Amino acid sequence: MDLQRVEWFELIKVALPVLLTLGIGIFTNWKLERTKTTLNKDLENHKQLLAIITEKSKLDNQKMMHDFNLYRTKKHEIYPEMYKLLIAGHYDIARLLDDWSMPDFSHHSKEMLNSYLISRGLSEEEAQALLINRGVVNDPFELKFRIKMLDWNDTFHRFKYANEYYLRSQLYFSEEALRLVKSYLDISSAIIKDLVPYIHARSYQLDMEAYKELFSLNLEGNVAKIKEGINDLREQLKKELSIAEYEPEG
């Protein structure tokens, strides 16, 4: 009996380390497999997340390029149109100041005056409305004033439209372009206001220097400013249209 116990004891002594080693090995393998499964699952999740992020980044880039192309396209429409409106107004101001080549109306019949007014761009109705006033017909100075004020009215409305276009289109202007356009419009507005007493004095051949002092006219200074301003604006718009300056927010 004692011999059997000894044999079992010896057997257990030999088997126990083997069993422990085997158990540890099985547990370790199970743990490794479980860890491997978890890592593979995490890796797959990361791959899916990376794919989502990559696709989102791709879509964001596509949207950015689409927005950029729309922005650039709109800018290429607005900048030339804004410049066209301002340069037209610029030449209108120059004509109001310098183009006083009119005939001696004292030798014109009413029919001749009507033809002349139409040649100046008035419609038949506008010419007749002006000539129906005998005081105008009989006073060449008054007629000259009325004709120039018709031109002034056209210029006023041209700049009014240009200002409205500028206000509608501000979103697409750079800060520097905005500054230059606004400065030009502000100075032009002051010129147009000063042109009314200027035209009156010039039409009636009054003392221009006295009128300048009376109305605090600064036509020469402001005209010099818009000449410089239109050149600065042209160069700025040309520079911006020749480069890409898209800067996404954030």
The pLDDT tens digits along the chain (250 residues) read 455 555 656 656 666 666 667 667 676 777 677 777 776 776 677 667 766 666 665 655 555 554 556 677 888 899 999 999 999 999 999 999 999 888 777 777 888 888 888 888 778 888 888 787 766 667 788 888 988 998 999 999 999 999 999 999 998 999 999 999 999 999 999 999 999 999 999 999 888 888 888 778 888 899 999 999 999 999 999 999 887 554 444 3
Count of structural domains within the chain: 1
Indicate whether 161 belongs to any domain: yes
69 located within any domain: no
Other CB atoms within a 10 A radius of the CB of residue 189 amount to 15
- Domain of residue 139 covers 74-241
Asked if residue 212 belongs to a domain, the reply is yes
Residue 16 domain flag: no
Q: Is residue 19 part of a domain?
A: no
- Residue 109 belongs to a domain: yes
Q: Is there a domain that residue 82 lies in?
A: yes
Kindly report the pTM of this predicted structure: 0.68
Alpha carbon distance 246, 78 (integer Å): 16
Domain presence at residue 133: yes
